[in-house]
Structure 1
């Protein structure tokens, strides 16, 4: 695993340790990161991807619907409320992002309630910043808003008289339209804030040469949503939580499922991909550092979690699931550390996040019987908390 500095086997401080080449962008920030290994997710059925199980810490896999809320949604409910629940964005090939501008694979608000991620930066920009845009973007935004209001009215009328079982299912669609239209109304009330943080549109949005142009644009819109306080939780899915991916903008001609079958340690392709990911993390950190918050910056009160949707490798059994934490969420988490945790499940890490934000739980998405089987302990992982 390239997140572990060479030669490290036991927990220690990162001071004096050199990060491996794929993570070199984070070298200047070693005192602000925490590398965690040893946690497992065997029960999530990771294989190619655990899908909802990666953030839900329960059984996932291809075609398996979410059985409970995922950690990003639960955190968003525990933090001060914002206009949006978790904002989820997904990054894939250009063809895939155009064909599937939204899809749901990772996040959920409850059983059978997936949260859709946004893969087209133009559509996401229009949704969040269309009310303060100009020209064709504003026209499309207004036309779409009018259509959606009419669709909501029609949907409500059609719901009357349906049998109870059909009515409940249909009601979820109606509530979806209500939420979307409610979002438009809320955004229209904070136009000054939107104008302050709206990204500048350029050719990367309208005429991308590579998929990485859209990846960068999506990150910009996500950062703007955080800076404008539209959301307190941003979930970024490289590969859209599946087992594909494309990075032609990095000079990588291979793409898709086959990339996962390449030997990864020391491989130039995977080194480039992970360097790119870490550079995005640095960009996110710097953007949050630029926003004053309290007596410091927004980054001072933020925790960034970098991990995988299928543990440590292709065809994984989830035996070890690495995580890298950046920031300390206002001094709540230890930094500048490498910690090797023996045998506890990823559920315990997610419970630790909730303890850190002041919403303690005994366990996260794991009952007592499963806890014994998977070595889950009550409460947080104490060595991670400050």
Structure 2
């Protein structure tokens, strides 16, 4: 007996209780994929607050402070003793991050936090960037993405996605770890990432077809159509958005099947999910990241846009023919580095836009998410990490006070006692942990060369 159908016979649509509807849905082959999504809808129907979600996006070659410094704001505060706290409302963003202008009231820029404990002068800080320990120690401890995931459990603690310079790279172990000597694989091929995340519907008796995407999506489709019909109207839009990635993949398969001879003879591959073009792969990974969050499979995504320590792209698709390593050694001339930075800013904006169209509670998924954009090597190609520039979008459901703010802390003082107001990346990570309920006062290893700076506790200025 189908409880939902019986309920529909007994009451009119306007009388249908949403919780009864969600509770009564039954799933077949698509259970593994759809169940987390439906669980999230049921929790919302019960009045439960949605979980806070976080995306870390790391790029290589340094995030130059000048590229995120609002116009007209002095970035040289080596002798400043107080925090600079300005509203972004009246400030103009630099051209390098101008794609984020539509989100200026929901983003924050943080300058001058140091992260020297992660190492200095190298091409990247690997696990040390998210882990707060020297990168040459390897996988020495848990990284912040996993610490945050532990405070808000989900089916997959951390989804790791990468954009490697080599389009053939399957995965890298580069920036994320669940524990010492336990790196999280960063999947670098969008097709594989999609199958790994959503292909589990074909397990069990259908295991032989796990990698046969046509059958995989066809099996999902019957459940998808039925579930959509039985959902209250208010939830159908959410399901449609969540399933957009499935439909993109299915449409591609249908086009390939119908035109395979012509495609083979004449047409280059342009689909972003299996393209070898760097910009396409980057865009596809962002689509998968938001689908993984919207589905309820995870609450934390880490995107390694570098594809490993010391890995550099040549951004020919952006009209930049000089390789990234050479650009870094030239201190990033703007003629080369600004188009690259702007493309990364577009990807952050794309993540935000995708999340902002998914209704959730009284707002959207973006309201309950934080996107953290930074480099895996701090402020430069050979970053010495006296500063580690950051751009944040979102506020974790009102748990943070970063939206619309520019914060510039007193600078790191080389070979001198630190100004008391100087803080570190560890302090930022502790603020994120406090925001999700983990009240620890230490994260990672302290910087033993810092004198006079408080390395314990969170950045109080950004906590509600």
Q: TM-score, normalised by structure 2?
A: 0.66
SS in 2 for 1:360: coil
2:185 counterpart of 1:116: yes
Alignment of 1:299-310 (within 5 A): 299-310=366-377
Alpha-carbon contact 2:273-2:281 (below 8 Å) kept: no
Output one character per residue of 1:242-288: Cα deviation in whole Å (capped at 9) or x when no partner: 231232221222224223113326x1221111111111111111111
Cα distance, 1:371 vs structure 2: 8.8
Alpha-carbon contact 1:213-1:249 (below 8 Å) kept: no
Q: Select the residue among 11, 18, 23 that pairs with 2:85.
A: 11
Alignment of 1:243-258 (within 5 A): 243=310, 244-258=312-326
Structure 2 partner of 1:87: 159
2:114 counterpart of 1:40: yes
Alpha-carbon distance in structure 2 between the residues aligned to 1:240 and 1:209: 14
Alpha-carbon distance in structure 2 between the residues aligned to 1:117 and 1:374: 37
Alpha-carbon contact 2:167-2:277 (below 8 Å) kept: no
Structure 1 partner of 2:128: 53
Alignment of 1:194-273 (within 5 A): 196-199=243-246, 200-201=248-249, 202=252, 203-205=270-272, 208=275, 210-243=277-310, 244-264=312-332, 267-273=334-340
Moved more, 214-223 or 348-357: 214-223
Structure 1 partner of 2:104: 30
Output one character per residue of 1:277-329: Cα deviation in whole Å (capped at 9) or x when no partner: 11111111111111122221111111111111111001121111111111111
Change (3 A) 1:77 1:120: same
Alpha-carbon distance in structure 2 between the residues aligned to 1:374 and 1:82: 39
Structure 1 partner of 2:428: 349
Alpha-carbon distance in structure 1 between the residues aligned to 2:350 and 2:212: 34
> Gapped runs of 5+ residues in structure 1?
145-186
Change (3 A) 1:206 1:51: closer
Alignment of 1:173-184 (within 5 A): none
> Gapped runs of 5+ residues in structure 2?
1-64, 75-83, 214-219, 228-238, 253-269, 411-421
* Matched residues, number: 331
Alpha-carbon contact 2:273-2:280 (below 8 Å) kept: no
Alpha-carbon distance in structure 2 between the residues aligned to 1:123 and 1:207: 9
Alpha-carbon contact 2:111-2:389 (below 8 Å) kept: yes
Alpha-carbon contact 2:331-2:381 (below 8 Å) kept: no
Cα distance, 1:132 vs structure 2: 5.3
Alpha-carbon contact 2:161-2:285 (below 8 Å) kept: yes
SS in 1 for 2:90: coil
Alpha-carbon contact 1:51-1:106 (below 8 Å) kept: yes
Alpha-carbon distance in structure 1 between the residues aligned to 2:287 and 2:273: 14
Q: TM-score, normalised by structure 1?
A: 0.79
Alpha-carbon contact 1:82-1:229 (below 8 Å) kept: yes
SS in 2 for 1:284: helix
Cα distance, 1:139 vs structure 2: 5.6
Cα distance, 1:42 vs structure 2: 1.2
Change (3 A) 1:67 1:278: same
Alpha-carbon contact 2:123-2:383 (below 8 Å) kept: yes
Output one character per residue of 1:187-225: Cα deviation in whole Å (capped at 9) or x when no partner: 9xx976798353412442466262211111122112211
Alpha-carbon distance in structure 2 between the residues aligned to 1:377 and 1:131: 43
Alpha-carbon contact 1:84-1:231 (below 8 Å) kept: yes
Alpha-carbon distance in structure 2 between the residues aligned to 1:206 and 1:60: 32
Alignment of 1:165-176 (within 5 A): none
Change (3 A) 1:332 1:270: same
Alpha-carbon distance in structure 2 between the residues aligned to 1:131 and 1:75: 25
